Amino acid sequence: MGMFARAGAMVSALGLVASLALTGCAAEQKEAEFVGGTTSAGPAAPGEKGASGGPGASAEPEAPTTPSGPPLAVSPADGAKGRPVSAEISAELPGGGKVASVTLSAAGGGQVEGRLRADGSSWVPSKPLKYATRYTATVTATGADGATSQGTSTFTTMAKPRSVISSGLYLFDDKTYGVAMPVVTEFHPGIPKKDRAAVQRRMFVQTDPPQPGAWHWVSNGTQAYYRAPEYWKPGTTLTVRIALAGIPLSNGRHGNVDRSATAKIGRAFEMKVDNATKQMTVHEDGQVVRTLPVSLGKKKTPSSSGTMVVMEKKESTVFDTRDDPDPANRYVTDIDFAQRITWGGEYIHAAPWSVAQQGRVNVSHGCVNVSMANAKWLFGKTKVGDPITIKGTERKLVPGNGWTAWNLSWSEFVKGSAVPVPEGGAQPAF
């Protein structure tokens, strides 16, 4: 079975929660919390817990204390008020040069930890600054001629804003995902196009072992995906900080919270489905481990062709399509071993009623039907983030209908970045 569904969103006190009203194959009600930092004890940024850089690491080492160059003009400027709690510390460096070190202290004591960007352009606090609080920053920089300069600024942050944009991160601390798991951020309402570059510069991803990557924005600005040119290397650690608390947007809103998570990438596991043969070929660590007969969507309700990602797994659920406008597509059915691959309602799942058609003819409402035994075996092998590629059907996968980051070539993917991406992918900012 299977058919496209609808996805809605609502804001809860715990963060952004998507309430997915599913029709057709995905016809159940579900609430999926976007996690990563609201309640977890994970790192506040790449660089904590021994990672190799990012806000939240230990404070920068002390730089030379005897300046030999002219005084620096620090940003935020001395005496500035109403500064965002997302403020980074920088300085004007005429003739070139880089920020060498920063110390930042809140009124009443307490030094703030942070990290320099790799290009030396600014220093990023490891956590959002406090609202309505006075801070003093001391910046030391090294000029192109090797001379050191220093400057000091005392500024005050803004009061807590009333209008915020809700954000989410589809990543859990200490979980293991498949090699195609993109870093997925969600925003409600979407980020205006003119603000995406500033927001993107505050979305940090660190990989160990290091792999270049890039962000890609969905056209309406409600989601952004981060991926590498190829699937992640098995065993990779992803350390993510979406540092948006207090960031000002052009529509008068501000980012609501920082979110962070550290997760692992597991073994290489991939599913490939060919409509011509009605077979699924399952690969693990580069080897074919099983071939399964399938039945895909019939012509009236075809399956999507493209590369998708397992987004959630349910050992048992109910598909309820009683609100479908077509009476022929209305049903309530118990489903076993369901694995969602699109927001629109396409799943891999057990379909004992279509075993005779599997491998021969398509009879589903868009889902990938397999036998009960094969569905149970597959369910026991897969992880959220494992890729599935379907080819040869009447329908192409729609961008944003699921985690569609891998349905684009690398050259197409980087076109969706709000900032220029170097050939081969951007390196971490820290």
Looking up residue 97, the CATH number of its domain turns out to be 2.60.40.3780
Give mean pLDDT, residues 398-407.
Answer: 95
CA-based nearest residue to 130, from 88, 84, 167: 84
- Three-state secondary structure along 301-328? CCCEEEEEECCEEEEEEEEECCCCCCHH
State what percent of residues in the chain have pLDDT above 90: 71
Residue 194: inside a domain = no
The rounded radius of gyration (Å) of the Cα atoms in the chain is 24
Asked, for residue 372, whether it belongs to a domain, the answer is yes
Query: Is 303's pLDDT higher than 90?
Result: yes
How far is the C-alpha of 238 from the C-alpha of 388, rounded, in Å?
A: 21
Taking the C-alpha atoms of residue 140 and residue 21, their distance in angstroms, rounded to an integer, is 54
- Give the CATH number for residue 374: 2.40.440.10
What is the mean pLDDT of the segment spanning 281-296?
98
The percentage of the chain sitting over the pLDDT mark of 70, rounded to a whole number, equals 81
User: Taking 90 as the threshold, does the pLDDT of residue 60 lie above it?
Assistant: no
- Based on the structure, what is the number of domains in the chain? 2
Looking at per-residue confidence, does 35 or 162 come out higher?
162
Residues classed as catalytic: 349, 367
State residue 64's pLDDT score. 46
User: 130-150, pLDDT tens digit by residue?
Assistant: 999 999 999 999 887 888 899
* The pLDDT of residue 320: 66
> Does residue 339 lie in a domain region?
yes
The answer on pLDDT for 12 being more than 50 is no
* pLDDT value at 43 more than 50: no
Q: Is residue 47 part of a domain?
A: no
Q: How far apart are CA 188 and CA 168, in angstroms?
A: 9
pLDDT band at 25 (very low <50, low <70, confident <90, very high): low
pLDDT of residue 98: 86
Q: How many CA atoms lie within 13 A of 359 on its CB side?
A: 8
Q: If you average pLDDT over every residue of the chain, what do you get?
A: 85
Tokens, residue 144: 């192109």
Which carries the bigger pLDDT value, residue 1 or residue 243?
A: 243
Flag the least confident range among 88-102, 259-273, 311-325: 311-325
The answer as to whether 306 is a domain residue is yes
Chosen domain end from 119, 136, 156: 156
Count other C-beta atoms under 10 Å from residue 325's C-beta.
7
* Range 293-309 average pLDDT: 96
What's the mean pLDDT in 97-105?
92
Unique residue bearing structure tokens 């050191």:
148
Domain's final residue, options 92, 121, 156? 156
Q: Would the pLDDT of 28 be above 60?
A: no
DSSP string, 186-227: EEESPPPGGGHHHHHTTEEEEEES---BEEEE-TTSSEEEEE
Predicted pLDDT of residue 10: 31
Is pLDDT of 61 > 90?
A: no
CA angle 17, 329, 343 (to 5 degrees): 25
pLDDT band at 44 (very low <50, low <70, confident <90, very high): very low
Residue pair 44/30 in contact by the 8 Å Cβ criterion: no
Rounded to whole angstroms, the Cα distance separating 266 from 178 reads 6
Using 50, 70 and 90 to split pLDDT, how confident is the model at 406? very high
- What pTM does this model have? 0.83
* pLDDT at residue 8 greater than cutoff 50: no
Domain assignment present for residue 336? The answer is yes
Residue 216 counted as domain residue: no
Least confident of 34-38, 68-72, 278-282, 403-407: 34-38
Domain boundary among 156, 177, 197: 156
Under 8 Å between Cβ of 213 and 205: yes
Residue 190 lies in a domain: no
* pLDDT per position as a tens digit, 165-177: 999 999 999 999 9
Domain that holds residue 390: 268-398
pLDDT at 7 over 50: no
Measured CA distances, 310 to 79, 267, 269, 404 (Å) = 51, 15, 11, 11
Residue 331 confidence (pLDDT) above 70: no
